[in-house]
Structure formats: C-alpha cells, structure tokens
Structure 1
C-alpha cells in the first residue's frame, strides 16, 4: 500500500522529532536508527526512504534543534529574560537541552556534513543573540559570542555536577546570570 506524500512528510517529521529528542538526551552514538523509528511510531524499514543515512539524519537534527533554539532567543523580550530562562534549574534539568550542550562533544567526533550543519546552527544562534544587542555597539559581535560561550559552558558544568552537588550547580547558574548581565552592560 502506497503512502501519500502528506503521510510520508508526517513520517519524516516524526523521525526528525524523535531523533532530535533522543540525540539530545543521549548523544548521536548512543541511539540507533531502529530506536529512532520505534520512538516515531514507525518501522525501521521505512527510514531509508526518508534519509540516506543516520549521518544525514543527524545533520538535519542539527538544523531542527538550532531552529528551535533560535526561535526561543527571538521570542525573548530581552537578553536578560533569555539568560534567566537559559541559566535556570528547569532548563538544566530538561531531557533534551540546547543542541550546543547536548551535541557539542559528539559533533567534534563526527564527519563533515554534521559538523557543517552544527557550525551553521551555532552561527545562527550567535546572530540571534546579536540581534538583541544595540546596533551601534562595535563590540556586540564579540559580546554575543562570549555570551553564548558563557551560557553553554556553564550549562555543561551545571548539568555535570547537578546530581552529586546540587548547590554547586545552582551556584554556577546564579553566577552565570550575574556575569551575563555584566557582559551585557559592557
């Protein structure tokens, strides 16, 4: 029985969403194609009708994940509001955190296409942060990159120590909120 184009598109989207959630939760290497398709409610056999390889799927997951992250930045009323969201216990404890936190270490071990999509995503994310800054600030590009690095690095540390030292984790998050505000004030 043939699947309609609309249904095929829905299946493809379901695979992308399931893969994004699973990859961000456990990493690219810890999740197989069969697990992704099962999570999407599909059979393994249909996967290759949508994606040439797991690597092709991973590249598209980067696009999807960064698209969602960029939309969150754009929807924020201010960078201070976004920093408060990002450097929060709730964000730290999310199953699938921001793609830079969840996938950054994995990407460094993968091939060119995934790296290229990840790099493009980081660029889009930095640009979204930059768009919240004053246009006449000659240091805004550097501030945007520094803020992203500060947020991502602190979230990695806060997540790493949360289970064994919750107070330290919360201090890291509080400290990054404070330092981010100082960075934004210039």
Structure 2
C-alpha cells in the first residue's frame, strides 16, 4: 500500500519535468511560470513544492531532461545521421525534441552558476558523445562539431527567413562532415 503514493509522486514529478523541459526550451525561463508548467502537466500550482524547491531547481533539472529527450530523438550510432537529424528544420521548428544546448544558450548565460554548471555538464556530455565516433580523432574536433551543431540550430531558429535558415543548417552540416572525415595522412 505504501508504494502507490511513492510511485504516483514519481509519475507526477516526471510529468512536471517533461512539461518544463518542453516549455522552457521553447520559450525560455522568463516567459514560463511555475503555474504554466503545472497547468501543462495537468497538476495544480500548489503541488509544485512537494517536488521542487524552486523554479531554478526545476529549470536545472528540465535542462537535463530536455537533453535526454533530445538525445533519444537525435542520437544515433551513425554520425552522419546525427548531423542530419540535429541540423534539420524539424528540430529548429520544434517538431522534434528540442536540445536545450541550442534552444537555451543565451537564456542560461544570464543565470546563476548552478544552472550554468548543469548546462556545462550537458555540453561536455554532448561533446563526449560526438567524440566517441571513430571518425573524431581529437577533443578539439569534438568541441568544434558540437559548437557547429548547437550554433547552427540556435542561429537558424532566430532567423526569419526559412531559406536562409536551411542554408545555415546545410553549411553547418557540410563543415561537420568535413571535420569528421579522417584524412588519409592521419591513418
């Protein structure tokens, strides 16, 4: 009998985190209130503090949740497929799980150190995943490719011209492929 409330509380917390991950990546910290998140999750505002101590805690955990969701959507063993999935207009237009690295970079830059630390940890995890490919032979390339992926989506999202946005994504994809090609001299 005692496990039902714990399971229910865990399910409620998960729903709140999923809503927060989606809403924060789409609209940022300032435009989303605790009430917005709770309403989206189908919960009452009053129940928030039984799960989180503050909006900042929710935001930090939502960044991690959004990163997991994005990796499930965009991650792939095939690096070329990662480039295609991540650098897509579907990703830019929020049709796929949104990566908090691309969608929250400027939002996070103004937040407290604890939130920037979560973002930093998320970035290094992302770069490490890129670096696991046998085609990536240095941390420098892993960071550069990660920055191209994240920056390409962030810039394309900000542009009002879809043709230009697609050109930016295509350019980033081309350079990612070039950076990830193992040259004959290095074999």
TM-score, normalized by the shorter chain, greater than 0.5: yes
Deviation of 1:85 (Å): 0.9
**2:144 is the counterpart of 1:146:** yes
Q: Following the alignment from structure 1 to structure 2, what is the Cα–Cα distance between the partners of residues 68 and 167?
A: 27
SS in 2 for 1:11: helix
SS in 2 for 1:62: helix
Deviation of 1:177 (Å): 1.3
Determine if contact 1:88/1:173 at 8 Å carries over to the other structure.
Answer: yes
2:185 is aligned to none
Deviation of 1:134 (Å): 4.3
Alignment of 1:8-157 (within 5 A): 8-72=9-73, 75-94=75-94, 97-134=98-135, 137=137, 140-157=138-155
Deviation of 1:72 (Å): 4.7
SS in 2 for 1:94: coil
1:111-142 alpha-carbon deviations (Å, 9 max, x no partner): 1221111111111111111112347x3xx211
Q: CA RMSD, aligned part only?
A: 1.9
Task: Decide whether aligned partners of structure 1 residues 6 and 69 sit closer, same or farther in structure 2, where only a CA change above 3 A counts.
Answer: same
**TM-score normalised by the chain length of structure 1:** 0.89
Q: Following the alignment from structure 1 to structure 2, what is the Cα–Cα distance between the partners of residues 133 and 93?
A: 31
Determine if contact 1:67/1:121 at 8 Å carries over to the other structure.
Answer: no
Unaligned stretches of 5+ in structure 1?
A: none
Q: Following the alignment from structure 1 to structure 2, what is the Cα–Cα distance between the partners of residues 11 and 104?
A: 28
Determine if contact 2:135/2:180 at 8 Å carries over to the other structure.
Answer: no
**2:176 is the counterpart of 1:180:** yes
1:8-57 alpha-carbon deviations (Å, 9 max, x no partner): 11111111000011000100111000111011000000100100000011
SS in 2 for 1:167: helix
